[in-house]
Amino acid sequence: MVQKLWKLQGGLKLPGFKTLSNSAGIKALPIPPQLIIPLKQHIGEPAKPIVSVGERVYKGQVIAESNGYISAPVHAPSSGVIAAIDAYPIAHASHIKETSIVIHTDGKDDWHPSVQAVPKPLSLSAEDIRQRIRDAGVVGLGGAVFPSAVKLKPTREIETLIINGVECEPYITCDDVLMRCHADAVIRGILLLGKIIKPHKIVVAIEDNKPEAFQSVINAISKFKEAGITAVATIDVTQVPTKFPAGGEKQLIKVLTGKEVPSGSLPYELGVVCLNVGTTAAIHDALYHGQPLVSRIVTVTGEGVSRPGNYRVLLGTPIDTVLDYADVANRTEAEVIMGGPMMGIALADQAAPIIKAANCLLIKKTEQVRQPVASMPCIRCGQCASVCPMKLLPQQLYWHASSKAFDKLATYHLDDCIDCGCCQVVCPAKIPLVQYFRFAKSELKARERERKKADLSRLRNETRQLRLEKIKREQEERKARRKAARKKTTSRDNETEQAMQSSLKEVSSEGKAVESQMSTKPSPGETSNQQKTMVR
């Protein structure tokens, strides 16, 4: 059945530069002498280290466990000894440091005994498969790095499962080469996903500038059909037009289903789940080989690379080690971008490690680096709005961001901006719009953190006041009870004393009566005389 397609709002047709790196397959990078593994390589809470300095670890061993529901464990990418647990630079535009675990590798690459393949993964229950995906530390490898096990537990029925093989940004080819070389792993991963979420329909989306990858996936499905695996009949492989950013999750959902994910909503609320082909292959490795996510395919490309291509790189490998292996000439003078030219970030430190989100290293020669130009005033041409794939108004966002009117940015849905850079490319005034938007987002996040901090402080103060009031109230109640008890005791003592006094009075009265009787009683002699008189 031919998949119906809807038109992508906005976007740009850009030169691909794909042939620089997609013709040589996947090469394995040697084990580096040192690995630096950040504890936060995903959206959510950073992992919590469970190893200590000096401890020997093995490949695939858990060295940091997940620290919350939206979190993912971190595993040792190779065997060796824990050398340090400290803050190290990460892949960022500034010299930011994050807590990382440093492993001095031994070159043996010995797997941990717990790494065991599952004989028949499809025979497992959906919950068992999901738990193994979580334990393997699998996250989205298309850039979002959201923990996959969380994404695979939707709260409603799923109509469409989308496997994203679009890879629309120029230069990047890691997903293209993965589909060419390991289409079988992608299909098996799709079958596992189907077992978990039971979608009505499965669509593999591939951009039409990747004919080899498209044909490879088609051939893999045919092979599974010949082997009698009928479940693959539900998989529809579709080519989508080459246009940036068609590979964005919300954009691809619109192209394939016609549905628009509302602002502030998530795809599963529309009955859609979307995963990257790299993530799907990692799920296959986690179940069929028992291997956690300890490496990934990285595109190393650009006119400044002597040996461009796609490399299987251990997570934690220093970026400068990768550049040395790819024979990057004068790399100290070149600009290194992690990601593509549109949405990537220029690295401040080339010693930073490869992480789960690192799909590409783009190296530009010094003469290719675009020099900053003075921006001109906005001429209100509206081109930025016409190419925005999220249907935003970049002009309005720019005015409010530049004037620091942050409270007005929510009205224009700044949070929906995906930083694709289309508006900046077409801007005739050369205004660095994306930089303004990123600045505004970071400022809003900082303000939100301060607001939460103030709310927490206020809550703590209110809780303390309530606690003090409760203590005071309890003290007053105890005091009142003691007072009442003393009053009751005093009253009882008074009653007892009165009763005693009354008793004493009665005793005294009786005593007086007896005395009175005793004083009026005749003597024996008088009684005898009286009797004699009466006789006479």
Contact 290, 282 (CB under 8 A): no
Average pLDDT over residues 461-484: 90
DSSP letter, residue 205: E
Handedness of CA 113, 39, 248, 93 (dihedral sign): negative
What is d(CA 358, CA 338) in angstroms, rounded to the nearest whole number?
A: 6
Cα–Cα distance, 353 to 36 (Å, whole number): 6
- What are the tens digits of pLDDT across the range 64-95? 999 989 999 999 999 999 999 999 999 887 88
Q: Given its phi and psi angles, is residue 198 left (phi above 0), alpha (psi -120 to 50 degrees) or beta?
A: left
pLDDT in tens, 209-241: 999 999 999 999 999 999 999 888 889 999 999
Tokens of 524: 């024996």
What pLDDT does residue 447 have?
87
3-class SS string, 84-114 = EEEEEECCCCCCCEEEEEEEEECCCCCECCC
**Under 8 Å between Cβ of 280 and 189:** yes
pLDDT in tens, 376-434: 999 999 999 999 999 999 999 999 999 999 888 988 999 999 999 999 999 999 999 99
Residue 59, classed as helix, strand or coil, is strand
| Average pLDDT of the segment spanning 21-25 | 90
Tell me how far apart the alpha carbons of residues 456 and 345 are, in angstroms, rounded to a whole number.
34
Closest CA to 448 of 418, 421, 414: 414
- Phi-psi region at 402: left, alpha or beta (left = phi > 0; alpha = psi -120 to 50): alpha
Question: Concatenated DSSP letters for 426-495?
Answer: H-TT---HHHHHHHHHHHHHHHHHHHHHHHHHHHHHHHHHHHHHHHHHHHHHHHHHHHHHHHHHHHHHHH
Q: Contact, 345 vs 310, CB < 8 A? A: no
Amino acid at 108: K
What CATH number should be reported for the domain whose range is 18-346? 3.40.50.11540
Q: Residue 471 pairs with which residues in a beta bridge?
A: none
| CA dist., res. 272 & res. 261, Å (int) | 10
What pLDDT sits at residue 498? 78
Percentage of the residues of the chain whose pLDDT score is greater than 90 = 72
Q: Taking residues 144-165, what's their average pLDDT? A: 92
- Domain positions in the chain are 18-346
Q: Is 425 exposed, middle or buried (0-12, 13-18, 19+ CB in 10 A)?
A: middle
| 181 three-state secondary structure | helix
- What would the pLDDT profile of 256-273 be if each residue is shown by its tens digit? 999 999 988 999 999 999
Q: pTM of the entire structure?
A: 0.84
Asked whether the beta carbons of 46 and 30 are under 8 A apart, the reply is no
Could you tell me which of 257, 280, 253, 279 has the C-alpha nearest to residue 266? 253
